[in-house]
């Protein structure tokens, strides 16, 4: 790195840290926002590209081909048969990843819910797919934007087959790319300066829904983390100002490679997907112009533009991920009980709006949930458990748990160390309150690094720390996700800021699905008091670690006033 580049990177790092500081909620001061909701200017949650051909995706029932596997089978490698890539399977993929799952109605107002959750249900995340010409896929090659309200693909970039093939040459044969972008304005409309964080959480949740959707089809999915943001923006057409003239901007998040799980010989995948050459970019034809989402111009939040620039990834890291042949033949699919189906769990996933303050969870189920969020960073990436095989960086998030009602477990404050490195644990121990006991709870599996820090009723504490929200105290347990903040940003650079949030979102998505499968429910909590959480743990005034996201899991109370309507049908206009 040159001296100028180093200086630039240091300034960017300072700006990212300044953004994080400035957008903390304090007991006496919330991060800056308008302070009221400008309903007349509420952004449309559905982006469309007017003039781009719309290709409807077939709507499938759970029991039709491709049949949804059992939820449990997703966590058993090679137990789900790999499906060919067809319009039906691509439809299933988007259904489980980003489609609508219901409409809710109250007092004449209707809003849609989706497979992926979103802070404030504002849905800043947009999805794209880039495909080549495939024998069984009835789609022209090129780039498509996913339209969730229609469950359809908009053909944005029409390309000759050989050009699309050349773009995907580094991706395993048969494979395709998915892309995610964020429209910051959708979140900033309500949340002001803190909105950039929420967009990144939502991206993390969407990585989870995409990875799980791929797993139901026996496909692999890997975020191409070495890629530059410039490449992502170019490939997804975000730099085409002529197509976004009056429309609110989309910002690049990621590209991920998706490919069938039965490929042989095993591919090598480079994480740095490279910008297609100019000749490729000028090939084919771009179609459609982005719709305007709000009536008025977006309210400018300068600090969001600054952190967008400062966390922009302009470096490209080349790293090969080598996949070995499966150790168990893929034809020997494990027989896992039929219920519940993965599709049922995905469709029924909802955020709890309130908890009953009574329901408890068995310790075994609690331990299983925690095991599902262990990334197994000690294993080579392809051997890590789903969905942790989707993100190629070392895990950097740990959990501070407020245990309220787990049968057989002492209520109190706990710590889960998600890093395989034991020295991390001693670092944390020396940085936290001296009185913490660090004892292993009875019955805790040997491979789960869970520790009791302090026994006691933590319901009020959890509630207070989560902006006074009852959902953090009335549940079976809630938690804060603590990032190795300074260390990761120093090691990788300011662009890693977004990755930290993505990892928290992915953890959250696993909890969402695990809670549904345990017959209870959960909710993401983006509103919490940052530094008070650090004080509870004993971190120093300027902590090297930062809590980035909270979560809560328990017995839900339903809001009986709401009517539920199906995701698609004549009632959707
Ligand atoms: C990043 C994130 C932050 C959230 N923060 C809160 C929160 O602080 N309080 C709350 O009640 N719900 C919160 N939620 C839940 C959302 O309101 C919910 O996901 C959204 O309304 C969509 O509903 P669904 O999850 O049932 O699809 C959050 C969700 C996400 C993904």
Q: What is the pLDDT of residues 441-467, one digit of tens each?
A: 999 999 999 999 999 999 999 999 999
Edge-to-edge strand ranges of the sheet holding 412-416: 450-455, 412-416, 397-403, 477-484, 545-554, 521-525
The pLDDT score that the predictor gives to residue 326 is 60
Instruction: Quote the ligand 1 centre to 280 CA distance (angstroms).
Output: 40
- The predicted pLDDT at position 265 comes to 67
The Å distance, Cα 525 to ligand 1 centre, comes to 6
CA distance 60 to 277: 38
Which among 119, 200, 355, 508 is the best mutation to test ligand 1's pocket, defined by most ligand atoms within 8 Å of the CB?
A: 119
Residues 6+ apart with CB under 8 A from 417: 398, 424, 425, 428, 449, 451
**How do residues 119-177 score in pLDDT, each as one tens digit?**
999 999 999 999 999 989 999 999 999 999 999 999 999 999 999 999 999 899 889 99
Torsion of CA 205, 206, 212, 217, to 10 degrees: 170
The rounded mean pLDDT for the chain is 94
- CA of residue 444 relative to chain centroid, distance: 28
Closest listed residue to residue 526, CA positions, set 351, 294, 379, 389:
351
**pLDDT, tens digit, for every residue of 435-448?**
999 999 999 999 99
Measured in residues, the chain has a length of: 573
Mean pLDDT of all residues in 471-487: 97
Pocket of ligand 1 (CB under 6 A): 113, 117-121, 198, 201-202, 205, 350-351, 469, 471, 523-527
Q: Say if residues 257 and 222 touch (Cβ distance below 8 Å).
A: yes
* Mean pLDDT of all residues in 482-488: 95
Q: Is 25 helix (H, G, I), strand (E, B) or coil?
A: strand
> What is residue 542's predicted lDDT score, i.e. its pLDDT?
63
Distance separating alpha carbons of residues 267 and 271, to the nearest angstrom? 12
Best probe residue, ligand 1, of 465, 526, 557 (max atoms within 8 Å of C-beta): 526
pLDDT higher than threshold 60 for residue 328: no
Ligand 1 pocket, mutate which of 524, 527, 529 (most atoms under 8 A from CB): 524
Percent of the chain with pLDDT over 70: 95
List CB contacts of 388: < 8 A, sequence separation 6 or more. Answer: 374, 375, 376, 395, 506
Average pLDDT over residues 538-549: 86
The answer on pLDDT for 333 being more than 60 is: no
Q: Which residues fall within 8 angstroms of residue 350, CB to CB, at 6 or more apart?
A: 113, 521
The pLDDT tens digits of the residues spanning 30-81 come to 999 999 999 999 999 999 999 999 999 999 999 998 899 999 999 998 889 9
Q: Per-residue pLDDT tens for 279-298?
A: 898 899 999 999 999 999 99
In this prediction the pTM is 0.97
Q: How remote is the CA of residue 501 from the centroid of ligand 1, in Å? A: 15
Share of the chain above pLDDT 90, in %: 86
Tell whether the model's pLDDT for residue 243 goes beyond 50: yes
For ligand 1, atom 9, name the residue with the nearest CA: 525
Ligand 1 closest atom vs CA 114 = 27
- Which comes out higher in pLDDT, residue 566 or 540? 566
For range 383-408, the mean pLDDT: 96
Q: Scanning the structure block, which residue is given the tokens 């026996």?
A: 218
Q: Ligand 1 centre from 56 Cα, in Å? A: 29
Structure tokens given for 62 = 């759970």
């Amino acid at each position: 790195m040159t001296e100028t580049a180093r200086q630039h990177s240091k300034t960017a790092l300072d700006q990212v840290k300044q953004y994080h500081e400035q957008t903390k909620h304090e007991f006496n001061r919330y991060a800056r926002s308008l302070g009221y909701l400008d309903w007349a200017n509420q952004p449309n949650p559905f982006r469309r590209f007017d003039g781009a051909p719309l290709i409807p995706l077939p709507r499938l029932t759970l029991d039709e081909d491709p049949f949804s596997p059992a939820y449990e089978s997703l966590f058993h490698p090679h137990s789900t048969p790999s499906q060919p890539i067809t319009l039906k399977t691509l439809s299933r993929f988007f259904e489980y990843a980003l489609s609508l799952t219901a409409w809710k109605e109250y007092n004449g107002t209707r809003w849609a819910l989706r497979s992926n959750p979103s802070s404030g249900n504002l849905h800043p995340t947009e999805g794209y797919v880039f495909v080549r010409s495939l024998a069984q896929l009835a789609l022209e090659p090129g780039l498509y934007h996913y339209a969730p309200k229609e469950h359809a693909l908009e053909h944005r970039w029409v390309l000759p087959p050989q050009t699309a093939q050349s773009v995907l040459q580094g991706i395993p044969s048969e494979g395709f790319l998915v892309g995610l972008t964020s429209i910051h304005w959708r979140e900033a409309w309500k949340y002001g300066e803190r909105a950039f964080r929420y967009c990144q959480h939502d991206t993390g949740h969407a990585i989870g829904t995409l990875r799980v959707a791929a797993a139901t089809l026996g496909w692999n999915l890997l975020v191409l983390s070495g890629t530059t943001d410039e490449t992502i923006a170019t490939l997804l057409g975000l730099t085409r100002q002529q197509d976004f003239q009056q429309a609110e901007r989309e910002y690049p998040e990621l590209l991920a490679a998706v490919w069938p799980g039965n490929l042989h010989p095993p591919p090598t995948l480079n994480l740095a997907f490279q910008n297609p050459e100019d000749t490729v970019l000028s090939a084919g034809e771009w179609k459609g112009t982005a719709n305007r989402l709000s009536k008025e111009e977006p309210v400018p939040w300068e600090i969001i533009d600054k952190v967008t620039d400062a966390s922009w990834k302009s470096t490209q890291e080349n790293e090969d991920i080598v996949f070995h042949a499966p150790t168990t033949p893929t034809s020997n699919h494990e027989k896992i009980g039929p219920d519940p189906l993965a599709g049922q769990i995905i469709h029924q996933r909802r955020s709890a709006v309130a908890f009953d303050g009574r329901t408890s969870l068995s310790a075994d189920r609690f331990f299983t949930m925690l095991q599902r969020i262990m990334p197994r960073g000690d294993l080579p990436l392809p051997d890590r458990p789903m969905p942790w095989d989707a993100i190629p960086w070392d895990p950097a998030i740990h959990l501070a748990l407020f245990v309220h009602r787990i049968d057989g477990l002492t209520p109190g404050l706990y710590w889960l160390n998600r890093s395989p490195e034991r020295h991390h644990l001693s670092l944390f121990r020396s940085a936290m309150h001296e009185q913490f006991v660090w004892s292993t709870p009875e019955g805790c599996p040997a491979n789960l690094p869970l520790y009791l820090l302090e026994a006691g009723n933590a319901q009020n504490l959890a509630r207070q720390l989560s902006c006074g929200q009852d959902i953090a105290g009335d549940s079976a347990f809630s938690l804060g996700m603590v990032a190795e903040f300074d260390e990761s940003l120093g090691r990788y650079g300011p662009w890693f800021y977004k990755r930290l949030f993505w990892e928290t979102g992915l953890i959250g998505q696993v909890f969402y699905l695990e809670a549904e499968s345990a017959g209870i429910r959960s909710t993401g909590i983006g509103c919490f008091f940052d530094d008070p959480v650090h004080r509870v743990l004993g971190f120093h005034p300027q902590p090297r670690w930062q809590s980035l996201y909270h979560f809560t899991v328990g017995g839900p109370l339903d809001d009986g006033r709401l009517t539920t309507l199906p995701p698609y049908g004549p009632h959707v206009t």
